Amino acid sequence: MDFWPKEPPLPPSRGRISAAITEYLRSTGPPPDDKTIADAFPFGDDWQLGLYLCYELHYRGFADVAAAREWDPDLLRVRAALEQPYLEALRDRAAWHERADEALDELVVEPVAGKGVTHFLQDDGELWQLREYAAQRSLYHLKEADPHAWVLPRLWGRAKAGMAAVEFDEFGGGRAERVHARLFADLMADLGLDTAYGHYLGAASAEALAVVNLMSLFGLHRALRGALVGHFATVEITSSPGSRRLAQAMRRTGAGPAAEHFYDEHVEADAVHEQVVRREVVAGLLQEEPHLDGDVAFGVDATGYVEDRLADQLLHAWRAGKSSLYAPV
């Protein structure tokens, strides 16, 4: 099985913004104008897919889209026009803490039992729901740790060393078969899902797109390096207990050994990463640049906000016996 195929095809559009961007990438129409963007909702399907299309050019790109379009000036202007309102909306809705330590301390407090997505999947989740969860999460996990690698040139000292150590583990510690993206592809195969990179872009909800877009937003902007560190800390601190529940869900439903292994691996690895990230990456960054304290806190809060929106969307659909996906798997 190979999960490194050619670049994925462009997905179906979801509105005027994503349609115009798709047509522009195909050289069949102009990019979206300012009014088209202004009339849309920053957390909506059309906006988030349009932003995802812009960001994906900095990762693997799309089939039949020239690599040079990554730096197309008109497309970069569109990306900026989508980014700024999205960032402003996040600051309006998710700036809950002023200090990084306060925001991080709250992450170690487990949510009320049974209220989160991983609690639901552990206790009551059915195999079709685990498949949907994996399809939605594949947009990140098949590029796992890539958005965070962008921050490495923007760090130094303890922060850079700690970040590089964690990223080394995420990328398999020098062994291709242990790269976490590879392990997630194996999980998808156990669940009977297509392992092709970007295959489920057309199916993922706006809330799932917003989760991945947040990492790309923070990763691509040096000015947001503190927020990216806050995001990374959130992922590592909250991963271990959630992964333990997901591993149990995979075992209970008989999903398969690779499906179990992916989350078992994260229970152990991320428990170690949590300490490195907090003591070396966050503390090291704030020792060198204490003025970024609020930015780290914002990164933590914004991550929690978009993850909560995704959790609400998943649970609302599943408890009603409906699919959480924009389009069928």
Residue that is written with structure tokens 């600051």 in the block: 91
Task: Retrieve residue 166's tokens.
Answer: 């964690």
Mean per-residue pLDDT of the chain? 94
Task: Retrieve residue 94's tokens.
Answer: 């998710």
- Residues 6-43 as b/e (b if ≥16 CB within 10 A, e otherwise) read ebbebbebbbbbbbbbbbbbeeeeebbeeebbeebebb
pLDDT score for 110:
65
pLDDT tens per residue, range 141-195: 999 999 999 999 999 999 999 999 999 999 999 999 999 999 999 999 999 999 9
pLDDT score for 112:
53
Instruction: Give me the mean pLDDT over the 98-123 stretch.
Output: 85
Quick one: pLDDT band at residue 274, thresholds 50, 70, 90? confident
Task: Retrieve residue 161's tokens.
Answer: 């060393």
Domain architecture of the chain: domains with CATH: 16-92 (no CATH), 99-319 (1.20.910.10)
Quick one: pLDDT band at residue 240, thresholds 50, 70, 90? confident
